[in-house]
A and B are shown apart, each in its own frame.
Chain A
Amino acid sequence: MALSNVVETPASGFNFENVCRNVALEGLLQGGQTKAPKPMKTGTTIAGVLCKNGVVLGADTRATSGEVVADKMCAKIHYISPNIYCCGAGTAADTEKTTDLLSSNLTIFSMNSGRNPRVVMAVNILQDMLFRYRGQIGASLILGGVDCTGNHLYKVGPYGSIDNVPYLAMGSGDLAALGILEDRFKADMEMEEAKELVRDAIHSGIMSDLGSGNNIDICVITKQGVDYIRPYQESEYKDKRQRRYKYRPGTTSILTEKIVPLELEVVQETVQRMDTA
């Protein structure tokens, strides 16, 4: 029925329109003495572990833009479906959009078939899309989920390679995290032990790798449901400044002033606190 139209089969062959456009843009920008904007990478540590009753995924929360920390509390564990979550490393925009696209497609599939999607389906769609773009989409993903066939943990590389493994780590801090995982992983671990193992693996990545840092997020997926703990562990380095740096109103000099009255009435007010640490 409509199932075949739900996930559209893309046109055959490789679509490289954007590569030609990018090359042309580089030339234009170079001539104008400006460089193309560098995409923000997440410089991450992400890890996943299969345990007795489900899957545990973990990630740090630092997003870097070159050598500057762009976001101290970014969410790297993305929702795919109620039973599948995905950790993303690599270019931040790529991981966001790829997982969003995947999530939308799987939602449509769920609605059509009335079933929770299987992890293999998510993996195949991802692999298909990433291979089609020949690595131009810089997304390294860890997919974990529980479905009717059991617990699954997959690794999807930016070129479209997949790996079905019981434990893994990715990102710039992957070697540090893998050290911990290789040492302490056992098959069929208890849930609490698995959470501690993932926490320790991410912590090791945070301490050893400059691209990872701040807090640790954990996502536990079981047959009963999902426990997305954000943050599982807050960074121990909190604001220890000795002086307050507040400015009196009027400190900034006003050069000109123009007042335009607006006719508004307040319908709803929401306050969101900034993390000013």
Chain B
Amino acid sequence: MFATQVYGDNGKMKEYHYTGPVEHRFSPYSFNGGTVLAVAGEDFAIVASDTRLSEGYSIHSRDSPKCYKLTDTTVIGCSGFHGDCLTLTKIIDARLKMYKHSNNKCMTSGAIAAMLSTILYGRRFFPYYVYNIIGGLDEEGKGAVYSFDPVGSYQRDTYKAGGSASAMLQPLLDNQIGFKNMEGVQHLPLSQEKAVQLVKDVFISAAERDVYTGDALRICIVTKDGIKEETVPLRKD
């Protein structure tokens, strides 16, 4: 509460007149909310994100999706500080073009992931405040998900949630896709239709309890036939 700042360290009331230079901290970061999720299947990958851009208790935009298409087989989801998300995706796009011109072929998902890790670590001491998840198809056509932390540590996963509601979504995915903490349940492989249904349901739940997630859900489904986009409305309050 405000009143506690009236007391100095020794318990006596602080002076009201100006006593000297006061340090005002400027933070270069701000948190713009948003949740991203990626699921890898046998021959498909799904990257989904909500479309709400917020700051503090206000909403900047209800239509700001966080999935960005990189190549025909790869989509990246970035949430966190929107300024860094935009810059990072521009840098990745530029590097993709450079690679294409030098090597005469598109970057594969694994290569993009490795490159992103290097880009992020290059800013180890003033990080990009972005939680990245890459979803796409690998060289063999199987679904691949790579999840990152803000400074470039990454690993290949089957499913991953990142962003503000990640702590709520990840356990649900562990249970429904990874069959964790369940006994006597048949381990059926995940079909594309079931995966899309699961992603929609999981975001509806996240929007119920996380204030930064809502408005709409953008789903990008990556298959060998290309990238299909779907938008589903979520809670707007």
Contact = CB atoms under 8 A, between A and B. Distances in A.
Contacts of A235: 235, 237
Interface stretch (B86-94, B104-112, B147-155, B197-205): B197-205
Contacts, number: 89
A259 interface: no
B11 A20 contact: yes
A144 interface: no
B1 A250 contact: no
Given A135-B2, A214-B237, A241-B204, A248 B184 contact: yes
Interface stretch (B38-46, B54-62, B71-79, B116-124): B54-62
Interface in A220-268: 235, 237, 239-243, 245, 247-248, 250-253
A253 B181 CA distance: 8
A172 B57 contact: yes
B1 A136 contact: yes
A245 B173 CA distance: 12
Contact of A136 (B3, B176, B207, B211): B3
Interface residues of B, number: 34
Interface string B143-181: 000000000000000000000100000000000100001
Interface of B is mostly: mixed
A72 interface: yes
B97 interface: no
Contact of B210 (A68, A138, A158, A212): A68
A206 interface: yes
B211 A211 contact: yes
20 contacts: A19-B4, A19-B7, A64-B211, A67-B212, A72-B208, A135-B2, A136-B4, A172-B57, A208-B58, A210-B54, A210-B59, A210-B211, A213-B235, A235-B235, A241-B204, A242-B197, A242-B201, A243-B197, A250-B184, A251-B182
